[in-house]
Structure 1
C-alpha cells in the first residue's frame, strides 16, 4: 500500500486579546506570548499590575487548542509540536504578521516582546525571521530554539534594545546542565548584552516581577 503526504493551502482566522488602550499616554506596547496549555485571555491576568495609562498589552492566541486533562472542561493551546513544524511555523508567522498589522505596531519603537515557556520559542523565531527591533525582549522560563544562531540576531541594535532572561531557581524544567547551556546560548546570541535574572520559585509567572522588568521612564 502506498501512502502519500499531501498538502493544501487555505484561509483561516484566529483571535487575540488586548488589555488597556493604545493612545497618546502609552509608553510600552506589550506583545506577550503565552506558554503551552494557556489561553490568551487568561494569560493577560499576569499583566494587570502594569500601569494602564502607560501600557497596552496584546496577547496572541496559539492556534492549536485542546482539552486539558480528561475532563473535557478546560481548554488550553499550543503554538506548535514536532509534527509538521515547518508548516506550523509559517502559519504562526503569518498570523503574528496579521496581528501586528491590524494593531498598527509594525514599526513601533515602544514594543516589548515577552515570551513565557513555549512562548519564548515562537517569539524568538518570529522576531529573528522578521527582524523585529523592539525596545525590550523578555525571555521568561523558556528555551531558545537550537536552530537560531548568532547571525539571526546580528541585526539588533543593543543601544536601542534591552534583553532580559528570567527564570525561577527551582524550575523543574531547568536542570543545572540545561540552565548552563541556556545561559551560554543567550550570551552568544545576544553578544553578552542580555541581563540574566532569577527569582525564588518554579516554572511560574510572577505578576509583581513583570511590572518591574520594563522601565517606562
Structure 2
C-alpha cells in the first residue's frame, strides 16, 4: 500500500545582480533538465546589471550525470507521481517569490527554458499570476492547460516562444500543430526562431519586453 507523509523541506535558489531602486526588470527564470540554477543563471550575465535582477529557482530532484558520478544535474518533474510533485514545486516557487518581495515598480518577466517551460506556465496558470512578459524557449506547453486557465491574463502581457531551427527534439509537423494549439490558448503569443539548436541564446532575448 502506498501512503503519503507531509513534511517541511528546504531548497536553494540563486540570484544575479542587486535589487535596487534602479532595477527595471525582475526575471524569474526556470532552467531545463540537467541544469543547476547556479550555472543556468550565468546565461543572463550579459543583461544590464543595473536594470535587471534575476531569480533562478532550483529544481528539487538532483541526480548524477554521466558514468563518473561527478557532475550533478536536476529535474523538475517526471511521470512518477506528477500531480503531487507539481504541487510541491509550485509551493516552493511561491516561497521563493515571497522571500524576494518583488516591488510593484519593476517589470516582472517569467522565463522558462526546455523543461522549465512546463513549470513556468503551470505556475502562472495555477496562481493566476499577471506579469509584464512571458518567455518560453525550446519547451512544450503542458497538455492539461487550456484557454480557461489564462482568462485572467492581460492582453498587454507580451508572450514570446523561441525555438531553434536545428532543435533535435522538435519535428516541424508537431511544432506547427503545437503553435495552433497554444495560439488558441494565448492569442497574443509571438513565435520566433533562431539558427541554433536546443539552447538558450541570450541574444534572442532582445525585444521580449
State the TM-score, normalizing by the size of structure 2. Answer: 0.97
**1:37-56 paired onto structure 2 within 5 Å:** 37-56=34-53
Instruction: Report whether the alignment pairs 1:200 with 2:188.
Output: no
Aligned counterparts of 2:186 and 2:45: Cα–Cα separation in 1: 29
Aligned counterparts of 1:184 and 1:48: Cα–Cα separation in 2: 34
Aligned counterparts of 1:172 and 1:196: Cα–Cα separation in 2: 18
Aligned counterparts of 2:114 and 2:151: Cα–Cα separation in 1: 24
Unaligned runs of 5+ in 1: none
After superposition, what is the alpha-carbon deviation per residue over 1:69-95, rounded to whole angstroms, capped at 9, x for unaligned?
Answer: 111000000001000101101100110
After superposition, what is the alpha-carbon deviation per residue over 1:187-213, rounded to whole angstroms, capped at 9, x for unaligned?
Answer: 11112x111100001101112222x14
CA apart distance, 1:109: 5.3
Indicate conservation of the 8 Å contact 1:35/1:116, yes or no: yes
2:208 equivalent among 188, 192, 214: 214
Indicate conservation of the 8 Å contact 2:23/2:106, yes or no: no
State the TM-score, normalizing by the size of structure 1. Answer: 0.93
Instruction: Report whether the alignment pairs 1:174 with 2:173.
Output: no
Indicate conservation of the 8 Å contact 1:165/1:196, yes or no: yes
CA RMSD, aligned part only? 1.2
CA apart distance, 1:164: 0.3
Aligned match of 1:125 = 122
Unaligned runs of 5+ in 2: none
